[in-house]
Structure 1
Amino acid sequence: MMANTVREPARDIPVIAEPDVLVAGGGAAGIAAAVAASQAGASVMLLERWGFLGGTLSAVTLGGFCGVWTVTPERLIPVVGGLFNEFADRLKQRDGITAPRRWMKVASLPYDPTLVKLVSDEMLEARGVDVLFHTWVADVLTEDGRVDSVLLENKGGRFAVRPRVVIDCTGDGDVAARAGAPYELGSGGITQFGSSMFRMANVDMQQFGTLSRDEISQRLETVVNEGTPLPRTMVALYPHPINGVVHLNATKVARNDGRPFDLTDPRELSEAERVGRRQVFLYESVLRKHMPGFKDARVVDIGAQIGIRESRLIRGDHALTADEVLAGVKPEDGIACSAWPVELHGHGLKTVWKFLEDGEYYGIPYRAMTPVGLRNVLVAGRCISATHEAQASVRVSATAFAMGEAAGLASVIALQHGGDVRKVDVRSLQARLRSQGAILELAEKQRESTI
C-alpha cells in the first residue's frame, strides 16, 4: 500500500528581499498597486507567475477594458481615473486602443493585449519597482495575524521575502487564503463559468461592422437550434486595434455534469483548459460558416490561460453586496467607483445582466480590502470581499486598476503604523487618491462631461 503523504525535510530558506510592500500578482490591480506604492516612496517588489505583466488583460487576452464609464443615452462619464488614465494614454500613444465601443447599456474600451505587456513594463520601470517574473507564491508564514514571510518558488528554487505589508492581487486570493483568511468559493461552491478567450484574423471588418450584438446572438441561436452544441450565444466580439483582427469572448467551460469547474483545483483547471480549447475551434468553424465577415478568418491566438471570472472571495471587514451595487451606495470609506452592471455568467446560453440606473455608480469600501484576521494584508481585484452577485460587477479590469491604486497608497500609509492596514486614516487616503486624479465621486460638472 502506497503512503499518501511524504515528509519534507526541514530546511533554511534564503531571504532574498525585505521590501516595504510586496505585491503578489501583476494584473490590473497589481500593476496599479505597485506603481502607487512605489511613487509614494515605498520600496516595492512585485511577483508574477508569467513572464509578463497584465494578468487577465494579457494572459487571458481580454478584448476591452470594462468599468471605465457610467453610461447614459447621451454620454459616457468616467468613473475611473488616476493610474488607469496613464495606462490608457501609454497604450494610445502606441496605437494600442480604439474608440469606446457601446453595447446594450454599457461601454468598453478595446485594446491590444500584446502592447499591455510592454506598457506595463514601462510603468513599473519608471517607478523603480522590483519585478520578479516566473515566480509563484508557495506558502505564507504568519505570526499573530501578521504575514511575516512569503515563500516563493521559481527556477532558482525556494526563497523567502519578508515584507512589511502585502497586497494580494493574485485574483484567487492565494496569499490571503494561505495566511488563514476565511473565504467563500463563489456561492456555496458554485462560481461563474470561466471562458477561453481567443482572437481571429483576416476578418472582413466592413461586413462584421454591420452586425449588432443582438444580431450576432440571433445568428448563434439559430445555429444552436439547428443542432450545433454551442455553450453560449450571448457573446462579445471586439474589434482589435489591428485591422482585420477580432477578439472573441464566446466560450463557456463546464464539467460533464454541467457545473462550473473549480478553477482553484489543479485537475479541474487542467480539464477546463482542454475543454476551452475545443470550444474555441468549434466557434471558429461556426463563425466561418454562419457569420458575415468571417468566411476566411482563422484563430491566431488563444489566451495563455483560461479566463477566470470568480474563485475565492476573501472575507473582509465588509462584504460588498448586490443591493449596494444596484442601489448605487456610496460608503463613507469609498476608495474607488464602479458602474459596471452585475454580469453573471451562469447556467444557460445567455449572460444575466442587472444594470444600474443610467448615469449611476457605486463606491467600493476600503473595508472590503481588509481580510478578516490579518493585520498587514490588503486584497485588491476580483478576490475582494463581495457576495457572488456583487463580485460579478466589481471584478472588471478598470475597476481593478482603481482598487489596486487605492491599495498601493493605503499600504504606504499603513507603513507609518507598523504595517497595520486597519490604522489607515481613510480620509487621508481619499484625499491622496483625489490629488492623483482618482475618481471617488462625480460632481455635476463631471456628469456633464461627454466622450
Structure 2
Amino acid sequence: ICKQIVDCTGGAEVVGLLGLERLRGEERQPGSYLFKIGDPHNPASSQLKRLYVHGADSTNSRTVTLANLTGRKSILSKVRNSKERLMHLQPETGFRESYRIIGETVVTVQDYTSGRHFEDAVSYAFYPVDLHTRTGVKPKPLKRGIVPTVPISSLIPKDSKNIIVAGRCISSDRLANSALRVQAACMGMGQAAGATAALAVRNKTTPSSVPLEKIHGLLRDHNAIVPEKS
C-alpha cells in the first residue's frame, strides 16, 4: 500500500485527483517547440531553432494534442519556405505553465529576488525571473550574491497528509514560478521531496511533521547541497 506520494507531474495532476486545491491563472506563457533545419549532406551545419506555441495548454490530452499540431504546422510552414531540410523535431511542445498547488507557504517574486532564506529551506534556486509573453522574453537576472531558497512548506499542499510535490507546480506566484520551473531547481526540489516522503513513511508521520534537521541530514547523506544561513 502506498503511504506517501511524490507528485512530479508538472501540473500537480495527482494533487488534483485527490481533490486538493490548485491554482491556474487565465493567462499562460507560450509553449516552445524546438527543431533543427539544415543541409542533410552536412549535418554539422544545422541550426537549432525555436518557435512559440501561443495558448499552449497542458491540462488535458486534447489541449496537448492541439498545441503539438499547432507547433508542427508552424514548423512545416517554415521548412516549406526555406531551402533547407528538417533535421530534427522535438517530440512535443514544451509547456512553461500549468497548475500550481496552494501550499503552506507561497513563494513570492519578492522572496525570490531578495534571496530570502526561509526557515524551512531545503534547496536552492538560481534562475532569473523568466516570464515569456507574446512579444518574447526579457529575463531579470538576480543581483550578485542573491541565491533564492525553496522552503519545504511550499511543496506540501494545504490540508494534505500523504502527498508532496516537486517541480513547476510549487506553491508560488506567477513571476517566482517563471524562475523556479527550470530543471536545476526542480532537481533540488525533487531530491528534497523524496527525502521528506521517505522520512514520513519511516517515522509514520506526515511530510509537514518531519523535523527539518532530519530532512537536512538525509540530504547531506546523499551529497545534496543543503541551504545554510549566511
TM-score by length of 1: 0.47
Aligned to 1:299: 86
Aligned 8 A contact 2:33 2:52 in 1: yes
Q: Deviations over 1:381-418 (max 9, x none)?
A: 11111111111000001111111111111111101332
What is the match of residue 75 of structure 2?
280
Preserved contact between residue 103 and residue 157 of structure 2 (Cα < 8 Å): yes
Do residues 176 (structure 1) and 15 (structure 2) align? yes
Cα deviation, residue 299, structure 1 = 2.2
Give the structure 2 partner of residue 218 of structure 1.
Answer: none
Q: Deviation of residue 357 (structure 1)?
A: 0.4
Report if aligned partners of 1:169, 1:379 keep a CA contact under 8 Å in 2.
yes
Q: Give the 3 Å change call, closer, same or farther, for CA 284–364 of structure 1 in structure 2.
A: farther
Quickly say closer, same or farther: Cα 1:283–1:438, change in 2 above 3 A: farther
Partner amino acid, structure 2, of 1:178: L
Distance in 2, matches of 1:405 and 1:191, equals 28
Q: 1:443 to 1:437 in 2, by over 3 A?
A: farther
Match of 1:332 in 2: 119
Distance change (3 Å), C-alpha of 1:262 and 1:341: same
1:197 is aligned to 2:34: yes
Distance in 1 of aligned mates of 2:228 and 2:202 = 30
Task: Report what 2:52 is aligned to.
Answer: 252
Give matches, 1:24-423, under 5 Å. Answer: 163-185=2-24, 187=25, 189-200=26-37, 202=39, 243-248=44-49, 250-254=50-54, 260-284=55-79, 288=82, 296=84, 298-348=85-135, 350-423=136-209
- Residue 397 to residue 438, structure 1, CA distance change in 2 (3 Å): same
Distance change in 2, residues 1:347/1:166 (3 Å)? same
Report the alpha carbon displacement of residue 284 of structure 1 after superposing the two structures with TM.
Answer: 4.2
Q: Secondary structure at the match of 2:226?
A: coil
- Unmatched 5+ residue regions in structure 1? 1-17, 19-162, 206-241, 255-259, 289-294, 445-451
Change (3 A) 1:243 1:441: farther
Q: Which stretches in structure 2 are left out of the alignment for 5+ residues?
A: none
Q: CA deviation at 1:243?
A: 4.6
Change (3 A) 1:435 1:306: same
1:432 counterpart = 2:221: no
When residues 280 and 412 of structure 1 are mapped into structure 2, their CA distance, relative to the original with a 3 A threshold, is same
Asked if the contact 1:377–1:421 (Cα under 8 Å) also holds between the matched residues in 2, the reply is yes
For 2:102 and 2:208, the matched residues in 1 are separated by: 15
Give 2:53's aligned amino acid. Answer: V
Is 2:57–2:95's contact at 8 Å kept on the other side of the alignment?
no
Count of aligned residue pairs for this structure pair: 230
* TM-score (ref. length: structure 2): 0.89
Q: Structure 1 CA distance, aligned partners of 2:188 and 2:168?
A: 12
Show the counterpart of 1:87: none
Per-residue CA deviation, residues 129-178 of structure 1 (Å, 9 max, x unaligned), is xxxxxxxxxxxxxxxxxxxxxxxxxxxxxxxxxx1110000111110111
CA contact under 8 A between 1:343 and 1:393: conserved in structure 2?
Answer: yes
Q: Tell me the secondary structure at the aligned position of residue 130 of structure 2.
A: strand
Q: Name the amino acid aligned to 1:280.
A: I
Q: Aligned Cα RMSD in Å?
A: 2.5
- Measure the CA separation in 2 of the matches of 1:204 and 1:441: 50
Q: Which amino acid aligns with 1:323?
A: Q
2-structure distance, mates of 1:380, 1:276: 27
Question: In percent, how many aligned pairs have the same letter?
Answer: 27
Q: Structure 1 residues 434 and 247 mapped into 2: Cα distance closer, same or farther (>3 Å)?
A: farther
Give the direction of change, closer, same or farther, for the CA distance of 1:285–1:321 in structure 2 (3 Å limit): farther
Which position in structure 2 is the counterpart of 1:108? none
1:443 Cα deviation from its structure 2 partner? 9.3
Equivalent position amino acid for 2:89 in 1: I
Deviation at 1:352, TM superposition (A): 2.9
**Distance in 2 (alpha carbons) for counterparts of 1:194 and 1:174:** 19
Distance 2:168 2:139 in 1: 18
Cα deviations by residue, 1:6-56 (Å, 9 ceiling, x for unpaired): xxxxxxxxxxxx3xxxxxxxxxxxxxxxxxxxxxxxxxxxxxxxxxxxxxx
* Matching residue's letter, 1:183: R
